[in-house]
Structure 1
């Protein structure tokens, strides 16, 4: 698994139970092309006004096709529909493509981009009503 190759053994992907991504507070999205799952993502409740995006990914063979942006945009649209006003998310320091995706998607980094940390999660937030 790619996540393990970047970070070693890590339980982050299994940290939250499936139920946290179920309606009415969460959502799970997959993108299927030619019968194959090629991208996906999810969100869960962070607080009453904020959704937390988790597990955004794109199959390596389908990167640079805009699928990451599609997933993020659809998760944002669904979050607004569920009454959320903000999104919070984190990514890891060994995922520069994710950092670029969130910056290009209008997320505000909660760290100095030029001095990007090499350890710990990198947090982003986005005010959905300002950007939608």
Structure 2
């Protein structure tokens, strides 16, 4: 039983690194997984965090790769831990390569409104 728990932990850590590497590639900034012992020391740390200035710092990102998808539970915890950041849960659908993320409709709308304003401003220039 212990090996199954250890295997699940390793799978979770690998997924966190994969998510960090994906964001690093897409945003061109240093992104890393936050070891669990650091999450207790530093308030407002998700599983994945950008180092330095990045739009990613506006989000509290939790990464989950479990056999059972527990979106409600994961999102509630991310929201509780997010403080002033936007809670996001990135998760893998079991036995597939599909990776999705949750974002409340309010946060999605706010992000889209900001993007729309940015694009409108950019188009005027």
Q: Do both share a fold (TM > 0.5)?
A: no
More helix by share: 2
More strand by share: 1
TM-score between the two structures when normalised by the length of structure 2: 0.40
Structure with max Cα Rg: 2
TM-score between the two structures when normalised by the length of structure 1: 0.38
